[in-house]
Chains A and B, each alone.
Chain A
Amino acid sequence: MKYAFYPGCSVHSSTKEYADSAKAICNALDVELVEIPDWNCCGAIDAVYSYEPQYSLALAARNLALAEKMQTDIVVLCSSCYFSLARTNKLFHENAEVKAKITEALGTIGLSYSGGVKVRHLLEVLLTDVGLEKIKAKVKVPLNSYNVASYYGCLLVRPVDLAHFDDPDHPTRMDELVEALGAAKVEYYSKTKCCGASMAVTDEKVMLELSKRILLDAKNSGANCMITACPLCHFNLDAKQRDIESKFSLKIGLPILHFTQLIGLAFGIDNKKLGLNRNIVSPLKITPAAKEIVAK
């Protein structure tokens, strides 16, 4: 299986371990990720669209056009990139005016897009194209001591016309993955609540409040770690966790793993390859099963 890989900006800078672990597990599952040459920002619908809507769509479309040349579906790691690219793709198909604008903008840079690319999130590809059975067969170190809170956040399950691979309010497919890896799933209320997204920059107190609710809910429900499928959610829940602790005088200490890292741990992949040392709240100190792997 071969896919046009769209890492996204955050994955290239602040969450490199997400891309590294994704590549490592894809390698183990015979999924080939070929990076789209010279990809650019996804168009960041929330940030750029509000400022310059047509330009934001053109940015997204440039990536779609570059991927179309590779004749495969796009695979993304970031829920926000997923949303921007998938939404632009949908508008291209449904809105003649948008299609004309995009075609015109791409024309000025010698590219064209005919609408033949599907935008997909790696989680969906692994669950749908690869399948749980194949993933299960690769498990070498069942994660018995892990109580995992699966965190979906927003754009992986909403809006429903774009994100349709799980239920918008009570998604369960990530939990199925958790169980396939030998870990226990944690039922909690906040799995699709917003982490505060870019408010980490624009209105920090709101983001800290939202992420705090999610972390406390997961912890109080018995989780000893959480998995995410988006670098921005990961940033707010992991890198900002210390700010949450100090603002609200709390001790949380909940390790946040990229879902690809959790799969990698179960596959027995070396934790350096999974970049576990780059997570801010260390998953090595707290989770016993991870400790055993370090000892190897």
Chain B
Amino acid sequence: MQSENTPSCNEVKVVTEVAPQKGRLDFIKEVEKLPGGDKVLDCIQCGLCAGSCPTRFAMDYSPTQILKMINLGMREQVLSSSAIWECSSCHTCATRCPRGVEITTLMMSLKNLSLKENLAESETKPKFHKSFFEVINKYGRLSEAALLTKTMKKSDPKAIMHNASLGLRLARKGKMRLRPEKIEHTADLENMLKKTTGEKKQ
């Protein structure tokens, strides 16, 4: 059924022959403390998550390999992998995992750690998360137009044309709201942010 146009998997990088890295236990402990990470050592490498993952074809390492790499202490490789950013949070892996590893939540936590450490492999994806945050923190609601213009590669004329054509398609159907919608109590946002992060971000 998916025979035509199915992309081939990226070349699978082999991790089985890597020796445990220095600082392995520190990284495992760090991951175990993250949301979704408490059962990371319960993984039995069965491969069900990799087999279930809809975006596996776009990842450098499969989710199963990411779990193994955590076990081996490959901190930098994990946090700079494309795998964690290609996860679309569909929760299929976590739903099927026979060991109850919350892989999807863990992927989100790894994204967060990767951002903090400035190790993200992609330019667009961290920018998307930052832009999303900024739009929400300013208006309280998402403006798709604001998110798109903030995330879009400004230097790439092809990308601009592409988004303009989509924008036109949406506008014609009254599906593009150019002026962002704002909540009434926008001060609430700043106050909650200060309380939850202890500082003003941006």
B90–A209 touching, CB < 8 Å = no
Name the one of B5, B90, B122, B151 contacting A212, with C-beta atoms under 8 angstroms: B5
- Interface size (A, Cβ < 8 Å)? 69
A85: shortest Cβ distance to chain B, in Å?
15
Q: Which residues of B contact A (CB under 8 A)?
A: 1-2, 5, 7, 35, 54-55, 57-58, 85-86, 88-92, 94-95, 104, 108, 111-112, 115, 122, 124-125, 128-130, 132-133, 136-137, 140-144, 147-148, 151, 166, 169-170, 173-177, 181, 183-185, 187-189, 191-197, 201
Name the one of B58, B85, B133, B173 contacting A48, with C-beta atoms under 8 angstroms: B133
**Known A49-B108, A203-B86: A105·B54 in contact at CB below 8 Å:** no
How many A-B contacts if CB must be within 8 Å? Answer: 193
Main SS class of interface, B? helix
B173: shortest Cβ distance to chain A, in Å?
5
A13–B196 touching, CB < 8 Å = no
B51: shortest Cβ distance to chain A, in Å?
14
Name the one of B1, B137, B177 contacting A13, with C-beta atoms under 8 angstroms: B177
A13–B129 touching, CB < 8 Å = no
**Known A13-B181, A14-B175: A50·B192 in contact at CB below 8 Å:** no
Q: For residue A59, which residues in chain B have a CB less than 8 angstroms away from its CB? A: 136, 189, 192
A103: shortest Cβ distance to chain B, in Å?
10
B175–A239 touching, CB < 8 Å = yes
B181–A12 touching, CB < 8 Å = yes
Interface status of A245 (Cβ within 8 A of chain B): no
A58–B185 touching, CB < 8 Å = no
B26: shortest Cβ distance to chain A, in Å?
21
